[in-house]
Amino acid sequence: MIQDLDVSVLKPFAKNPFRKLSSEKLTQLADSISQCGLITPVLVRPINDPIYTHEIIAGKNRVDAHLLLGVTKIKSDIREMSDEEATIIMVDSNLQQREIILPSEKAWAYRAKLEAIKSQGKRNDLISCQVGTKLENKRSDLMIAESSDDSVRNVHRYIRLTYLIKPLIELVDEGKLKLNPAVELSYLDESRQVDVFERMEFFDCYNISLESAKRIKEIAKYGELTIVKIDHQCFEKDDMAKDSIKLSANRINSFFDLSTSPKEKEDIIVKALELYYRQKNRTLHREVALESRT
């Protein structure tokens, strides 16, 4: 049903991961609507809310453009739909219409759509197709790939980005960290991701290689991933390896007994550095933990 609705009663879709248009793009959209009118009505669904009567499924930027123009009414396509249907339509409409989509937007959009499809009962398994699965019960990830420009493999890669801490996924959005290394880092637990990000900042080097990220992932899986090991795998190579550090014997020998061997001294210094950086990172760890719970 097409009807003119007051923009003040339209509520943004809560699960929309896509960012608002920039001021410049929104102004361009508003100018286009002012000159040509609204070509495509916004898609909304009725909701039970004390303030809003409808929820915006597709067309939030068009609503914002109307607000910018001071227009209080907007042509709306009103449809009844479930949460899962609304999520799928919201994701598809944004992926099809937006010129620029950030990796984080695509990541959260694919994850939201995947969860919506699975909730509908289309599929209960993400990774593999069970023997005897009917065609109508197609794999959820395959359904997403078929309606996008990405392969099933890339759909999985993007969804993995949602397991990154905020500073790392922002590096992907900024183009400083490539997709594939970021995917490998997403398998680290939160505290180890914080350690990696802190070392990136320390060396002012963010675009670590895929090989380095894979080695870090393997070390964390089968052993203890220390700061020294992160540095060795990611930063202490090529030009960085040329910058050696020389310690004055007079400065460090006062901390050791005469019987302490050079290897024992090195081990103690490394452990002291690890303790120093663990203490230094506690504040960042707590901030990330608090943010993940909000």
* Nearest CA among 108, 109, 62, 113 for reference residue 85: 113
The residue ranking higher by pLDDT, 256 or 29, is 29
State mean pLDDT over 202-228.
Answer: 91
- Model confidence at 91: pLDDT above 50: yes
Q: Which residues contact residue 282 at a Cβ distance below 8 angstroms, ignoring those fewer than 6 apart?
A: none
| pTM beyond 0.85 | no
Query: Of 3.90.1530.10, 3.40.50.620, 1.10.132.20, 3.30.2270.10, which CATH number belongs to 2-80?
Result: 3.90.1530.10
Task: Report d(CA 251, CA 245) in Å as an integer.
Answer: 14
Q: In the sheet where 54-58 sits, what is the strand order?
A: 2-6, 73-78, 42-46, 54-58, 10-12
Q: Model confidence over 110-159: pLDDT tens digits?
A: 999 999 998 877 444 433 333 333 334 468 888 888 888 889 999 999 99
State mean pLDDT over 159-184.
Answer: 96
What pLDDT score does 243 carry?
Answer: 46
* Domain ranges (residues) in the chain: 2-80, 82-163, 164-294
CA angle 239, 244, 248 (to 5 degrees): 165
